[in-house]
Amino acid sequence: MQRIELLNGRTQIFVFDLEFIGDVRQLLTCRIWEIAVFCVSSNNWFEKVIDPDPNAETFPEPPIPEIPRLERSFLTENNPVLWSEAFQELTEWVTAQTRPGAIPVFVSHNTFRADKPILELECRRHNVRLPLHWYFFDSLHFSRSVIRNSTGNYSLSGLHEQLFNKPIENVHRARADVVACMNIMSNLTSNSWTVTGPIYPSYSTSLRSIRWVGRKAEEILYAAGINCVESFLFLIETNVNGDYLQFSMAEANSVHKTVSQVFLNKLPPDNVNNIISVIRSMRTVTPLSYTFMLT
């Protein structure tokens, strides 16, 4: 993780959106069928319709009724390509838009729980890799930090309704959602696109993807030199091994000690205990091991 405001104007903003089949709560079910990207500095677009499964004639029902069901007829009418082809064109396009030495920052709404991991997953399926110098910024987290929504609805549609008193036209198509995100960000920054907050590179998991880790907890972790979920888990694994070898300390006690020390007197005890509980459950099913990364 880096703080975007500390990069001295070196960043270059790309607003993007993915449309996908599947349920984001079960990432392995998700497959991209459309991508749209807008480069703020060059005012250029990249758009592709993707065939998520050339062997499928029908696609699953969306997890919520507001999302239209993907149809094979739609794909046929829009000349889809495979993700591997679309991704190759995307990387070339991003390179052409990016000035020398600039850091591409991809902005989308709820990117750390949806768009970013789905991008990484789709690339893995097709044996391609996201560039490691691509960074991601979540407009959802930014919006929560700068505006209060009386309804508590910080979804893209909810914010759009609040700020502009109208729904998103052609919602749940990639270009329309990118335009909505751009309008929201322009409004919240008075058209300056001056933003603050964390950006995470490809294959680095946002600390706020851990339940109960909010903005304050993320800032505490960052100040402690913990800049992603992977580094947090690595610290915990290292301490579990060291505590057992030196003190014969039980694993659960070591986890409790490490997390408590990081947040000592900086978060309410209940919040810390909730984070500890989540960390323990994460480690039960997904040990930090290359073997499990391969699954």
Evaluated on CA atoms 184, 190, 193, 197, the torsion sign reads: negative
pTM attached to this predicted model: 0.93
Contact 11, 174 (CB under 8 A): no
Residues contacting 127, CB < 8 A, separation 6+: 84
Amino acid sitting at position 52: P
Each residue of 190-237: pLDDT tens digit? 999 999 999 999 999 999 999 999 999 999 999 999 999 999 999 999
Q: Does 295 score more than 50 pLDDT?
A: no
- Can you tell me the distance from the alpha carbon of 8 to that of 182, in angstroms, rounded to the nearest whole number? 22
pLDDT tens digit sequence for 162-200: 999 998 887 789 999 999 999 999 999 999 999 999 999
pLDDT tens column, 255-272: 999 999 999 999 999 999
Burial class (CB in 10 A: 0-12, 13-18, 19+), 281: exposed
